[in-house]
A and B are shown apart, each in its own frame.
Chain A
Amino acid sequence: MAVSPGNIRKKALKAAFPYTIPVLTGFFVLGLAFGILISSKGYGFFWPTLVSIVVYAGSMQFVAVGMMAGGLEPLSIILMTLMVNARHLFYGLSMLEKYRGTGWMKPYLIFGLCDETYSILCTTEPAEGVDKNWFRFFVTLLNQIYWVVGSTVGGFIGMVIPFNTTGIDFALTALFIVIFLTQWQNVKGRPSALIGIFCAFLCRLIFGPDGFLIPAMLCILLTMTVLRQPLEKRYNRP
């Protein structure tokens, strides 16, 4: 029986949507917060939408709003973006195999590999009979749509209603805590999670709040390398 391309797509979209529901709610709130925040700095109208389409990196977008007051300082902008987004390198590394042979979709799958899309796709395989590539494509696309729509709506709310936005960027903290708690349910990952917290905390104490991300990442890499044997054993246990 011949299956039309339209049916394959529809089936994949239907399979993908339920997985994105938690992100729908989380991203809408977070996008809303971002839109309100950036429009409170005088960047209303098209700005939240534009930034959420081309940058599409939640935490960096919040950090960027904080940096706008400092003006256009290319070097510090590049370094800050590298530091905040260096974790993407690790996401990429763990998706190398899954994104093999995804053809024309591949550039978009890589472009849209944010924390939440990653956390869905690294753990989820679609059901039998669902096209894997289209499934991954729709998870990635739906998540970005939620983010862009949330940002846009937030931007307009921010322009219409004057808002005391102090503390609204805590939405990001809340999101990471929720992701952390979700990951914590997987017993295999707990040592890694603790290593991450410990290294970051240690480096925050030593290097202060503004320059500790890179040392923290190096510290994590070093610890993971030293503890490779026991950790690998733990992961490969059935």
Chain B
Amino acid sequence: MTTITMSTGESLIFFGLIAAVTMFTRFLPFLLFPENKKTPKYVEYLGLVLPYAIIGMLVVYCLKNATPLAYPFALPELISVVSIGLLQKWRNNMLLSIGGGTLLYMVLVQAVFV
């Protein structure tokens, strides 16, 4: 069990910093390109194509700690990802896909590939 290493005050600063930087990333584009200015064409293009690329990047980011060359050879991740794909194709129900995939992964890392 992990124990708390921060005081309540430190924890508040910890999450306060995260909240402030998160807001910064969300507000910056609107501050850089205010309503009375025309958005550059290049920026409009980026707004169009980037969302797809970023989700692809996030999938890789989430799987960054998988170890395909050492035990358990990324098998928990692989099995769960394929199952999510199949569940999604079968029912197209987010709850089922996310809940089912997560439970499967938890069972795999806690009980199967120990």
Contact = CB atoms under 8 A, between A and B. Distances in A.
B94 A26 contact: yes
B29 A96 contact: yes
User: Which bracket fits the contact residues of A?
Assistant: 35 or more
Interface string A181-202: 1010000011011111101110
B110 A174 contact: no
User: Which bracket fits the contact residues of B?
Assistant: 35 or more
Nearest to A59: B58
A17 interface: no
A199 B62 contact: no
Contact of A29 (B29, B61, B85, B95): B95
Contacts, number: 269
Contacts of B10: 71-72
Given A71-B10, A193-B56, A196-B52, 18 more contacts: A25-B93, A51-B15, A54-B16, A57-B18, A71-B6, A85-B21, A87-B57, A88-B25, A89-B29, A115-B55, A172-B62, A177-B59, A177-B81, A180-B56, A189-B51, A213-B57, A213-B61, A228-B42
Interface of B: 1-6, 10-11, 13-19, 21-23, 25-30, 33, 35, 39, 42-65, 76-77, 80-81, 84-85, 88-89, 93-95, 97-99, 101-102, 105-106, 108-110
